[in-house]
Amino acid sequence: MCETWYRAFKMYNWKVNLGSFQEAQHYEGYFNQVIQTVNDVIEFENKFRNALESSEYIVAGEVCYWKNYGNHKAKHRVTSSLLTYLNHPDNWSRFVQAIKQLSINPTFENFIILQDSCNQPRGFATPITFLAFYNPTEYPMVDKHIANWWILNKNRFNHTNFHEFSQRNDGWIQAITRTQKIQNWNAYIDWREFCNDYAKRLKKHCSFEWRARDVEMAVWEARKNNIFLSVLPPFL
């Protein structure tokens, strides 16, 4: 019953060489890791949370570069822009507070504040990544692979009425207009509910401690490798 979920999760592999950031040499002691396995990612999440308390704004740049690694045309520009913006102490303070507030109170208005605090008014997946790294137990990430899986599988998991993400023709989640942002936020809240629900189901039926992020990582690999994830009995 749980085999497909275990298999997908254990297959997780997203190799990112942070040292390939074109401005890495300007940030001594940072951008010097290769992130690949689940354990690497969990350590990276811990590093980000610690950075929020120690004013290491450069770690946010590392997370940004990691998240956008597959976007070959924009990853350097987006990361450089974020680092320049967060280098200002007031901007960094607003960024930290926005993440913490959104984690406590996940409203659309607080999401917009997070978008603005990382200077990404048209970004969706990257601001959500900061939230997920801060609180991976409750908040999953999202990208085009997740959005594509969600469209194809949410009905099979008895979530017909759950929202879908606003995507471009190439699958990328788009958040240019307010309408698109609202649609994406509603879809994300539904996606978050699903991940938290399945974390509980997997813990109950599979005797393993799952987080929302772990469910998301399993889905991400399942989408890439055409793994048919099993529908599990409800958590009661």
Vertex 51: Cα angle to 50 and 57 (nearest 5)? 175
Report which DSSP code applies to 148: H
Structure confidence by residue, pLDDT tens digits, 34-77: 999 999 999 999 999 999 999 899 999 999 999 999 888 899 99
Structural domain contains residue 41 = yes
Per-residue confidence (pLDDT) for residue 236, from 0 to 100? 65
Structural domain contains residue 214 = yes
Structural domain contains residue 234 = no
Structural domain contains residue 233 = no
Domain encompassing residue 10: 3-225
Q: What is the model's pTM?
A: 0.95
Among the ranges given (11-15, 83-87, 220-224), the one the predictor scored with the smallest mean pLDDT? 11-15
Domain count, the chain: 1
Q: What is the mean pLDDT of the chain?
A: 95
Structural domain contains residue 128 = yes
With b meaning 16 or more CB within 10 Å and e meaning fewer, what string describes 141-166?
bbbbbbbebbeebbeeeebeebbebb
Per-residue confidence (pLDDT) for residue 8, from 0 to 100? 95
- In this prediction, residue 23 has a pLDDT band, given cuts at 50, 70 and 90, of very high
Q: Is 226 left (phi over 0), alpha (psi -120 to 50) or beta?
A: left
Structural domain contains residue 31 = yes
Rounded to an integer, the average pLDDT of 203-219 is 91
Structural domain contains residue 230 = no
Are 147 and 165 contacting, i.e. CB atoms less than 8 angstroms apart? yes
Structural domain contains residue 183 = yes
129: which residues sit within 8 A by CB, 6+ positions away? 63, 64, 67, 141
